[in-house]
């Protein structure tokens, strides 16, 4: 017993040293290294990071945050009951009694024939090899995942009645694609404000398998097989080994991945201070460092952050191109004043976006009508479609909700970019274009997905200040 006090003192010293070490790791050059690439031109674009920071943080983010709290954008119709098409569902910790909308293959914006091609069978066989992957540690995380990953499915009876009028209104509109699942009994509205994207405790083999399947099986890779390891994703490898179209695809997915990681760091659940009181949500600078410091990410972290700006530019360009269509679309909820306010907010946002002088030029993609380029575009679509289906394999309902929404939003942006008779920074789509329509679900996903990217860039500034 006489050794208890020294032992306790030793543990206290170790804890203090550990905390102090974490703080030191963010002093001086360490913080600068993390943000070292967040300056100058965004890769494969002429726009500068500094211009996007100013545009987003000073103009877009405030308007978008207000707009997304409106009824039209806060309720997302989704199906969380669809089973994973690639491996057995291992989401034993997730609550299965709540509903969220799944991005069906028919809803992928860039359409391809609805057939089970040889390529799709080949992809499925690859996933099946990972069936029954190691499950150690699941039991220890179940309680945390159940609490943090469960959806709040609270919807008032009054609001449910309003949804029926929304449905009747939407059914009078022409649709660009046939969304078979819209009338499924498993489709339910979810209040996004009650289910914010943040840390859920979802970690371990399941999410690693999700991202490994996305990067290794459905993301274009450099000719050299770097694998899903410390060397995969280094920008130098991409630049030297991949064409523009493949780089665009990779950076889109990397930017989405980065945005999700930033939200987990920005809204992180800390245990109660000193062991008393309640746990609390706050910014986790050390978690941010673990994910983006070059010294801890094999030099990949800063490029991952920069890829976020690339993905932001793609969706910014899509909103600019669809501005004439969205201004004439109408945002129906049945409340005339609410609808007018939403339309005004949308118009204000789109005016700011359209005035931005340096948009991404999608006409640089898939140039020419060669057989090789047609094949590449087909692969581009197939890979994206598979990623949307992989979202059905996410083992945490809240994570699946936001994964589905953001992938559908990105797919809607791609649909916009490659619609219409012309492409390029000055091309637009209009409501008069009979071959172009967006469903309510696509519009809600488009704006909320862009909102996620916007909030990520805003959060980067917060972490930059915390690290200084």
- Annotated binding-site residues for FAD read 198, 200, 211, 254, 257, 291
Sequence-distant (≥ 6) Cβ neighbours of residue 214 within 8 angstroms: 253, 387, 390
Cβ atoms within 10 A of the Cβ of 87, count? 18
φ/ψ (deg, to 5) at 333:
-130, -5
CA separation, residue 323 to residues 67, 266, 289, 344, 424 (Å)? 16, 31, 37, 13, 14
Whole-number Å distance between alpha carbons of 400 and 98: 12
DSSP state, 271? Answer: P
**How wide is the angle at C-alpha 131 spanned by C-alphas 129 and 132, nearest 5°?**
140
Residue set of the binding site: 198, 200, 211, 254, 257, 291
Query: Buried b / exposed e across 378-412, counting CB within 10 Å, b at 16+?
Result: ebbbbbbbbbbbbbbbbbbbbbbbbbbbbbbbbbb
Residues 6+ apart with CB under 8 A from 170: 332, 439, 440
Rounded distance between C-alpha atoms, residue 292 and residue 456, angstroms: 13
Tokens of 466: 């915390």
* Side-chain-facing half-sphere of 266: CA atoms under 13 Å: 21
Q: How far apart are the first and last CA of the chain?
A: 45
The answer to whether the beta carbons of residues 282 and 292 sit under 8 Å apart is: no
Quick one: CA torsion of 101, 310, 231, 122, rounded to 10 degrees? 40
| CA 201, 207, 211, 214 torsion-angle sign | negative
Tell me the C-alpha distance between 406 and 442, whole Å: 10
**Which residues are known catalytic residues?**
396, 399
Rounded Cα distance, 462 and 160, in Å: 38
Smallest CA-to-CA distance from 319 within 443, 220, 148 is with: 443
Nearest Cα residue to 314 out of 211, 428, 430, 409: 409
The pair of structure tokens assigned to 324 is 């004439």
Among 257, 134, 278, 137, smallest CA distance to 201 is for 137
């Amino acid at each position: 017993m006489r050794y208890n006090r020294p032992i306790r003192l030793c543990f206290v010293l170790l804890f203090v040293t550990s905390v102090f070490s974490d703080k030191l790791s963010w002093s001086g050059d360490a913080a600068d290294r993390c943000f070292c690439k967040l300056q100058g031109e965004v890769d494969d674009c002429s726009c500068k990071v500094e211009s996007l920071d100013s545009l987003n943080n000073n103009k877009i983010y405030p308007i978008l945050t207000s707009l997304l709290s409106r009824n039209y954008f806060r309720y997302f119709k989704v199906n969380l009951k669809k089973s994973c098409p690639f491996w057995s569902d291992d989401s034993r910790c997730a609550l299965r009694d709540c509903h969220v909308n799944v991005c069906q293959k028919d809803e992928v914006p860039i359409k391809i024939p609805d057939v089970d091609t040889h390529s799709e069978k080949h992809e499925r066989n690859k996933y099946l090899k990972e069936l029954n992957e190691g499950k150690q540690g699941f039991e220890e995380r179940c309680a945390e995942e159940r609490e943090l990953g469960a959806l709040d499915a609270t919807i008032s009876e009054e609001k449910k009645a309003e949804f029926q009028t929304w449905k009747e209104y939407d059914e009078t509109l022409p649709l660009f694609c046939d969304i078979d699942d819209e009338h499924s009994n498993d489709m339910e509205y979810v209040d996004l404000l009650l289910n914010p994207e943040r840390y859920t405790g979802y970690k371990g083999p399941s999410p690693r398998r999700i991202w490994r399947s996305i990067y290794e099986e459905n993301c274009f890779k450099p000719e050299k097989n770097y694998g899903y390891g410390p060397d995969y994703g280094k920008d130098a490898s991409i630049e030297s080994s991949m064409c523009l179209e493949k780089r665009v695809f990779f950076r889109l997915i990397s930017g989405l991945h980065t945005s999700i990681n930033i939200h987990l760091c920005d809204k992180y659940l800390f245990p109660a201070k000193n062991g008393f009181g309640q746990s609390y949500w706050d910014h986790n600078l050390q978690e941010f460092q673990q994910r983006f410091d070059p010294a801890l990410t094999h030099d990949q972290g800063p490029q991952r952050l920069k890829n976020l700006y690339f993905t932001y530019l793609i969706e910014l360009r899509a909103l600019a191109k669809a501005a004439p269509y969205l201004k004439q679309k109408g945002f129906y909820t049945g409340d005339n004043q609410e609808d007018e306010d939403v339309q005004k907010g949308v118009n204000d946002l789109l005016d700011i976006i359209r005035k931005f002088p340096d948009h991404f030029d999608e006409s640089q993609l898939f140039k020419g009508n060669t057989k090789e380029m047609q094949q590449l575009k087909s692969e581009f679509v197939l890979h994206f479609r598979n990623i949307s289906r992989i979202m059905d394999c996410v083992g945490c309902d809240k994570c699946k909700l936001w994964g589905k929404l953001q992938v559908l939003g990105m797919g809607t942006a791609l649909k916009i970019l490659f619609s219409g008779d012309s492409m390029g920074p000055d091309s637009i789509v209009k409501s008069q274009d009979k071959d172009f329509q967006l469903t309510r679900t696509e519009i809600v996903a488009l704006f909320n997905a862009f909102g996620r990217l916007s909030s990520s860039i805003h959060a980067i500034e917060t972490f930059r200040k915390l690290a200084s």
